[in-house]
Amino acid sequence: MGIRPHIVILAAGQGKRMYSDLPKVLHTVLYRPMLHYVLDLAQAIPHETISLIVGHGEEQVRAACESYSGVGFFRQEKQLGTGHAVLTTRDFLKPKGGSVLVLSGDVPLLKQNSIEALLVKHVQSKAAATVLTAQLPHPKGYGRILRDAKGQFSEIREDADCGEQERAVMEVNAGVYCFDGSVFWDALAKVTPANRQGEFYLTDVIALLRAGGGVVQTSTLNDASQMMGINDRMAAADVEGRLRGEINLEWMKKGVTLEDPEGTWIDSLSKLGRDVRIESGCRILATTLADGVVVESGSRIIASEIGTGTVIKQGSYIERSKVGTDCQVGPYAHLRPQTSLASRVKIGNFVELKKSSMGEGSKASHLSYIGDAEIGKDVNLGCGFITCNFDGGPKKHRTVIEDGAFIGSDSQMVAPVTIGRGAYVGSGSTITKNVPADALAVTRAPQQNREGYAARLRKRKTRPE
């Protein structure tokens, strides 16, 4: 491509039409801040530096970008237009030389190949500036691309400043620019707020460069939807729907079955294997599903790894957990963070695990809570099993159940406690002490039968008051 630009991302605006205290660029699109998509794009393009212009909600924006390395932050004290925003980076970028690529933080659908085409055009034409454009059938609100009689670029006219004839132009400015830094910064310093909005337009730099004899080129998007910006909740929903459709289509092309593509949400961070099947109403977020995984309807999986051949049954919720191969989870199971299941584990209906591990072939088939526990191989946990891991103060305590142990129904483990290898715990027991390997532990009170008690009770109830 022959160019490594300095990338500047505009993210200082408040987004008044969102009617929100949250900075606009942090509103989510498919469960991620819209700004993250632009940062992903910037990092995917070979570049020298990435500069993020912040303003409204600066601290929130900075915090949301902590996971992105190599990003510099520049504050725009007052939001006085795009030109004013880029000007905040001048002292840092001008001495470095090179080209400047300007992106907007509220345009999450823009693709890498579109930016690469823009950069190639910029280099090949030796342009002072190259503008990304698109054809829109309804261009209201966008700056128009005006051309001369030979079809060459003439200028960009903002919508608010357009006359009647100019408003009929359907080629619009997509808000992405590449500038030759050797002429850009001096031209930017000459921009004045001589417009109806009283703002410093970055587009005015284009006119100044062209007036000075510089070449201005355009690169046109093949798909105009890539330039869709988000200024209100309706636009956010529209963009999210398009992104969701793109992602779902790509996974189906790669061998994933989506029972109901319109009713399935898979975010841009997830990775899916071949022959994965996902039923309607599922959310798959920042998750890896290995080959052959089945996710039944209404399940949500967040930041987790699901192994080959595992079935996640209806209505299950899994978060920051690891599930091995050929497991069954659910229906209506809840795997909370730091849960780890080995292969062939069965977690049944209404079972909850938290910060626990279960070894190969172990089972908890129904109605159990397993917290802060280490469960070995081939362990059977009966219905209604509970680990009592919280002491009422600041500490959580661990329960250890070793390989091959059998825990009867309605049993409680009062942690810290260890159940030895191959041990049995009788149903209805409350275990407060360690159980040796191969031992039987029973804590039930002796059964008492009172002959005739029920009959006498019924007789008393039938007597008149």
- Residues forming the active site: 366
Q: Which amino acid does the sequence have at 210? A: R
**Rounded-to-integer distance, Cα 448 and Cα 426, Å:** 18
**Residue 102 burial class via C-beta count within 10 angstroms: exposed 0-12, middle 13-18, buried 19 and up:** buried
**Rounded-to-integer distance, Cα 223 and Cα 114, Å:** 9
Cβ contact 102:220 at 8 Å: no
**Residue 381 burial class via C-beta count within 10 angstroms: exposed 0-12, middle 13-18, buried 19 and up:** buried
Axis crossing angle, helix 112-124 with helix 34-44, rounded to the nearest 10: 50
CA dihedral over 341, 344, 345, 350, signed as positive or negative: positive
Residue from 253, 268, 269, 323 nearest 295 by CA: 323
| Residues sharing a CB contact under 8 Å with residue 267, sequence separation 6 or more, in sequence order | 30, 31, 32, 247, 284, 285, 286
**Rounded-to-integer distance, Cα 34 and Cα 92, Å:** 26
Residues in the chain: 465
Q: Give the pairing of strands 340-341 and 322-323.
A: parallel
| Residues sharing a CB contact under 8 Å with residue 407, sequence separation 6 or more, in sequence order | 379, 380, 381, 382, 385, 401, 413, 419, 425
* Long-range pairs, 83-87, Cβ under 8 A, ≥24: 83/188, 83/191, 83/199, 83/200, 83/201, 83/202, 83/204, 83/205, 84/199, 84/200, 85/10, 85/12, 85/53, 85/55, 85/202, 86/8, 86/10, 86/53, 86/188, 86/202, 87/188, 87/189, 87/200
Element (H, E) at 237: helix 233-253
